[in-house]
């Protein structure tokens, strides 16, 4: 077992385990935040696995998750806007912490791979991941105020 896989196991057990606890218990506002964080943490895990198994093509999974994970959170934010309007969830500390994990993993992988198309793909994945999750967090914190029905 190499260091990449060990790091993936640690983030999986600690990070995703914690978000699973968050999504299983507590009020709705905490659960949507936990769902957003779970996709923000799973994406770096997939990147670490791709590096750990030495399979560059596995990066496609992380790319698709970085694109669709925030879209899923936006779906929740949009269709649950009424339920969340009274007491919008704000979890900027956790969001930036997850973004930090993502940025760290992407930079570490960029340093480990030879510069080229793979680096561009990694940077694109990282940008989509961090941007998407910050925007999704903002959407949860009241980005869909004006949506009542429709």
Partner 1 sequence: MADALIAVALLLVAVSATVAVVTRDPVRQALVLAVLGIVLAVLFTVLQAPDVGLSQLAVGSALTPLLLLLTVRKVRRRAQDRDGGR
Partner 2 sequence: MSPRLRLWLVCAAGSGLAALLVAACLDLPGFGGDRHPYGDRAVDASLARRTANTVASVNFDQRAFDTLGEMSILFAAVLGCVVLLRQTRDEHRARPEPAHVDRPVRRYTLLVLPVALLTGLYVIAHGQLSPGGGFQGGVVAATSLHLLYVGADYRALERVRPIGVYEVGDALSASAYVVTGCAGVLAGTAFLANTLLPYGTFNTLSSGGTVPLLNAAIGMEVACAVVVLLARFLDQAVEIEEVRSL
> Can you give the binding site for partner 2, defined by CB under 8 A?
57-58, 60-61, 63-64, 67-68, 70-71, 74-75, 78, 128, 131-132, 135, 138-139, 142-150
Which of partner 1, partner 2, none does residue 87 bind (CB under 5 to 8 Å by kind)? none
Q: Is 24 in the site for partner 1 (CB under 8 A)?
A: yes
Q: CA 83, 88, 93 angle in degrees (round to 5)? A: 140
* Token duo for residue 65: 């998750």
Which residue, 19 or 133, has its beta carbon nearer to partner 2? 133
Residue 135 C-beta-side C-alpha neighbours within 13 Å: 16
Which residue, 115 or 146, has its beta carbon nearer to partner 2? 146
Q: Is 55 in the site for partner 1 (CB under 8 A)?
A: yes
């Amino acid at each position: 077992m190499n260091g990449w896989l060990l790091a993936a196991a640690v983030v999986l057990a600690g990070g995703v385990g914690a978000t699973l606890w968050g999504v299983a218990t507590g009020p709705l506002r905490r659960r949507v935040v936990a769902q957003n964080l779970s996709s923000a943490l799973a994406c770096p895990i997939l990147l670490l696995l791709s590096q750990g198994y030495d399979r560059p093509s596995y990066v496609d999974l992380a790319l698709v998750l970085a694109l669709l994970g925030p879209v899923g959170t936006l779906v929740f934010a949009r269709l649950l806007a009424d339920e969340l309007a009274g007491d919008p969830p704000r979890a900027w500390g956790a969001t930036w912490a997850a973004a930090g994990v993502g940025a760290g993993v992407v930079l570490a992988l960029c340093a480990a791979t030879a510069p080229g198309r793979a680096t561009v793909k990694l940077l694109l994945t990282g940008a989509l991941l961090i941007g998407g999750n910050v925007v999704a967090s903002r959407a949860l914190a009241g980005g869909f105020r004006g949506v009542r029905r429709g």
